Structure 1
Amino acid sequence: MFTTLRNRRLAATAVGASAILALAACSNADPTGPAPEEGDGGETSASSETVVVGSFAFPESQILGEIYAQALTEAGLDVETKFNIGPRQQTIPALQDGSINLMPEYNGNLLAYYDTEYEERTTEDVDAALVDAVAADDLQVLDSAEAEDKDAYVVTQETADENGLTAIGDLSALVPFKLGANPQFAELGYGVPGLKDTYGVGENAGDVEFVPIEDFGGPDTVAALVDDTVQVADIYTTSPAIKNEGLVVLEDPENLISSQNIIPLLASSVYSEDLESTLNAISAELTTDDLIALRDRVEGDEKATATQAATDWLTEKGMLG
């Protein structure tokens, strides 16, 4: 069974969730060392502090943590890992107290942690807002990746072809239809209310029949979509089911759903030019399709370890010798 983004969002933004898999050993080292010296202009050119990479308690985050850790080790930095930590209520304090000093994050959810009423939606706007938001905790972000793991309105290829569906607004041609998603989706701003307010879909009573499905875009939701119990579903963009079932993610030109790009979040004390260039190079290569493939290897039938999946991806991209 594939872990879904809504479960992960709840785990990463609200209450703690049970650990899914501990795919890497935790480090017990105390990463508290002398602060790096400042160079000209106040910018740190090198850090003597050990880079301790953390992760949330779900496989995708642990895979990303492994990618960061292995690439930084290859770049000659002293690296340790402390994975499977829990929600942001644990990871942000860990970044502040030095238990960890680097995390793979999701830009939209990270901004929501600091500003629950944020209005930014595009990658560029969210990233820009994050700079000041995290600085209050002496943290910083680097370049975000193209890769996103976020909610999406999804239909089958057959439904898309028969109704000319390519974007969310095209769902007006499908009404009436059933929409399957987690129960909260009926009230979320990017859920049923946003579908009406932003795209004018569901303006008439009975246009959209909401069908709550408890597995947050998981196998039950996918099955309901494939067998036509529902015609539209909220499934997350790195779900391997999108490719395995030949599903269609509808485009969102009005940015109803905020960006959720992968972005490195680090303590300013550990910053170095080598760290920045290494992580920015990863972000420049990492795509949503890559995340799907990595998750499929680890969570699917192969049951590859996060370590091996990360090694193979970095090798393929020429980042490991």
Structure 2
Amino acid sequence: MRNNLKKVLGTLLITALAAGVAACGNSKSSNGDKSTIKVGSKDFTENLVVGEIYALALEEAGYNVERIPNIASSVIHTSLINEEIDLYPEYTGTGLLSILQLDLITDPQEVYNTVKTEYEKQFNLVWLDYSAANDGQGLVIRTDVANKLGIKTISDLQANAGKIRFASQGEFDEREDGIPGLEKVYGPFDFKSSKVYANGLKYEVLSNDEADVAPAYTTEGQLVKEEFTLLEDDKQVWPPYNLAPVVQKSVLDENPDIGEILNKISASLDTAKVTELNAAVDVDKREYEEVAKEFYDTIK
């Protein structure tokens, strides 16, 4: 009797332990159909919007989604490696220069091929398709000044630098991808004046006619305004920062349809569209979740 009781208790214990291991070893949702996917995003508008679009698409496909927004750029890669998140929107140039710390490449496909290969080899992470949206370094000029001086490219700016008031953010004057990098390719920029302003004030400074040109990122929402013009990097100094989902390989192995779901999102995004989405939040002051849902409803 005692032996039978021991056997029954032992069987129950083994069953309970097995159930516990199974619960810890997968992330299936309560309905048993789809996994729970943890979607991360960085702590700025564009990444929040795109991360929310990813989340909506996965939910539409039947996945449970746990949103983990506002992760600092400095730690989000580590969060993915540590399996605190399953995927997030990243930029090819960031992967190349900040994470892999490789030499500058300016061809978008070559940058993508490099990060895709190295991420899988080094981190067991997969880059899905990259979008045409490029959130890279740029220079913005007041449109009236550009029209008056005939400035469309950075070469044109360099040739007219003596007539231009430059609004720097300080570090841009020293960074390898700032003025030093530009001068290596375009020649010296002998601006009429150069003053340092906080990055968040640059569009106000330009609008108030306190400066003519400032560093910018190529998808900033304020660029939808006609009073600002983004200059063409005609000699391709800066690397591309194309947007793409980066996903844990194990998650894709278990849920192969995620690749198709998120690649469809990437195919719908270009620089103009992402700039428009950023403007809806940063200029029109709408909630990023609302902006993401409105856009997703147009492409699903």
TM-score over 0.5 for the pair: yes
- The 5 Å alignment of 1:202-241 reads 202=189, 206-207=190-191, 209-214=193-198, 216=199, 218=200, 220-241=201-222
Corresponding residue for residue 125 of structure 1: 110
Q: Which deviates the most, 169-178 or 276-285?
A: 169-178
RMSD after superposition: 2.3
**DSSP-derived class of the 1:53 partner:** strand
Alignment size in residue pairs:
270
1:1-321 aligned at under 5 Å gives the runs 33-34=25-26, 49-89=35-75, 91-135=76-120, 136-176=122-162, 177-202=164-189, 206-207=190-191, 209-214=193-198, 216=199, 218=200, 220-271=201-252, 272-301=255-284, 303-317=285-299, 319=300
User: Which deviations, in whole Å up to 9, do the C-alpha atoms of 1:13-45 show, x marking residues without a partner?
Assistant: xxxxxxxxxxxxxxxxxx964499xxxxxxxxx
Give the number of the structure whose alpha-carbon radius of gyration is greater. Answer: 2
Q: Deviations over 1:122-163 (max 9, x none)?
A: 321211110122121111101111112222111111121122
Check the 8 A contact 2:221/2:277 in 1, yes or no. Answer: no
Q: Match of 1:83, SS?
A: strand
CA contact (8 A) 2:143 2:226 kept: no
Secondary structure, counterpart of 1:88 in structure 2: coil
Alpha-carbon spacing, 1:71–1:193, altered in 2? closer, same or farther (3 Å)? same
Shift of 1:276: 0.9
Q: Secondary structure at the match of 1:69?
A: helix
TM-score by length of 2: 0.82
Distance (Å, rounded) in 2 between the aligned partners of 1:113 and 1:56: 15
| Residue segments in structure 1 that go unaligned for 5+ positions in a row | 1-30, 37-46
Q: Secondary structure at the match of 2:161?
A: coil
Q: Give the letter for the 1:230 counterpart.
A: A
TM (norm. structure 1) is 0.77
In structure 2, relative to structure 1, the CA distance for the partners of 1:253 and 1:175 (3 Å cut) is closer
Asked if 2 retains the 8 angstrom alpha-carbon contact of 1:35 and 1:269, the reply is no
CA–CA distance in structure 1, aligned partners of residues 166 and 274 of structure 2:
26
Structure 2 counterpart of 1:265, which letter?
V
SS of residue paired to 1:283: helix
Q: Distance in 2 between matches of 1:72 and 1:240?
A: 26
